[in-house]
Structure 1
Amino acid sequence: MSDAPLILSHATKRFGAFTAVSDLSFEVPAGQIIGFLGPNGAGKSTSLRMSLGVMAPDEGEVRLFGAPPELKNLKRVGFLPEERGLYKKMNARDTIIYFGRLKGLSASDARARADELLEATGLGKFRTTRISKLSKGMAQKVQILSTLAHRPDFLILDEPFSGLDPVNQQTLEDLIKAEHARGATILFSTHVMEHAERLCDRIVMLARGRKVLDGTLEEAYATLGSGARITLEPGFDLAAALAPKGFGVHRAADKGPGEAWRVDLAPGQGPQDALRAVLEAGAPIIGFQPEEARLRDVFVSLVGEAEAAALDTPAVPTEGEVV
């Protein structure tokens, strides 16, 4: 039996008549950063809870370090849940110490680790500040640091970037890289593809509780191949205009003036072929750029634009959640 940090084999979870996760199988190899991707409601959080034994699959199997999830192997895991929540009357330092002690650190080691993490993330001067007095972003950073306190072998982070401003998102990315550099295996769920593009060795994509892709970034991009990104004045349906010419076209995620489209290029086609077809269709072009695929484009090609639109919908915070 493999001692990989996590293996799910044909895991299915139902809530009444609703199937949240269906026949899900994937492995998290030791030492890698794995992105668990999909829109809100795709089944990511349910899958992570099954991985930790918080809930059991109705069918299939979960193996954590080669065994069912139990106290012994869970001590090797650091878990950041999607539902944020801390003891508001505790201060930042004591919070991290508390979670470190729960995971087996001695009192002195927990205090030293708390001070180290707070200083490294710019929270040193807030170490004695109650959680209730911290900003939402600071409180979320304390919860993340509590997850890292015992230097876990395996980190599971459920939507860790949710609610963080760009500066703190970068701080968290740096923390993830540092944990990986010291040898930790990391699995994080997100609906923001850009984080996975910057951090991951492999990705697993979910849609409506089913796995739609499992592979390296290069393997994901290879499902689309090369393409061209074209920005048009609003109101022109490029997909309909180019469909008779045999081009695959879908809306892209670019923000800015106009409407962005991606034209997929088949083997033997070049960007100039796409540009020629767009001009012949009379499209009102603002911009044109040959490019490689993005993860969002991969997801759109696998599940369609309607499903991918959910990637842009933020999660609704749970009552009491720190975001």
Structure 2
Amino acid sequence: MAAQLIHDRVVMECLEGVWETLEGNQRCRFRGTIRLTATSLVHPEEPARTLQQPVEWILPTPTPYRLMEPVQWGEYLPSSKSLEFLDEIPATQNIAPGKVPPVAIIISHQNLRGDVSSISRLKALKWLDLSNTDFHGLIPPTFGNLFYLEYLDLSSNKFEGSIPPKLGALRSLKTLNLSNNLLVGEIPKELQGLESLQDFQIFNNHLSGLIPSWVGNWTNLRVFAAYENNFDGRVPSKLGFIYELKTLNLHSNHLEGPIPGRIFTSGKLEVLILTQNNLSCDLPVEIGNCQTLFSVRIGNNNLEGNIL
């Protein structure tokens, strides 16, 4: 079916179904009946094709498929390498009565180009995935107007410039992935209000400055990956106030000073990677009390002392 619909706009509706939570809220299962309606973007005069079938999916959480009931989302796969197809997506205020606006757009691995700022008019979006494409230029500050957004993945593109401070207005955001781009500058202070954030990934950019101490306000954060950048200064001890933190990866920066013992007291840290920095002093004794920790990589630093 994927080959048949690859040049189409596909709208999927959930006619009936049951969700089950699996593996400690990390994954979920959907069993039910869906209806797929495909409208050609290449030949507008071609009639829509509809397929109805039972499905069973295992999905990671959070996932866009659970955003509303009945579920409706759009996956837009254009035939050309441009974004002209976005003009066919109705803005929220233009949705016909009784219709549900698009709540998710997934355009990953498409080798696209063009101006993505037009997506900002889709005010109901909760899930936006533009990863692994070929977008250039600045990240549109107008993405900060997508107030319902919970998932934003712009990774593996060629976005440049700084992280837009206006992204700090996305108070419902749970995942922000800007990794593998050409971004520069500091982490803007406006992001400190993203208190719902669970996954923050900015690795493999050219970001610099300090890792701000206010990241300790992100008390729901589980993954903090800022490796392969140009951050300097110290590892903030306030990272220890993030009690949900499971993965901290800051390798290949210019961080200095001691490893703060406070980060080992949260009780949930599993992975710590601080290799290839300028860290010094003794390994903190608190590391021995972190029973959840199963992967530690701290090589290529200036640490000293005994390993007990």
What range is the shorter-chain TM-score in? 0.3 to 0.5
TM-score, normalised on structure 2?
0.32
Name whichever structure is richer in helix by fraction. Answer: 1
Name whichever structure is richer in strand by fraction. Answer: 2
TM-score, normalised on structure 1?
0.31
Higher relative contact order (CA 8 A, sep 6+): 1
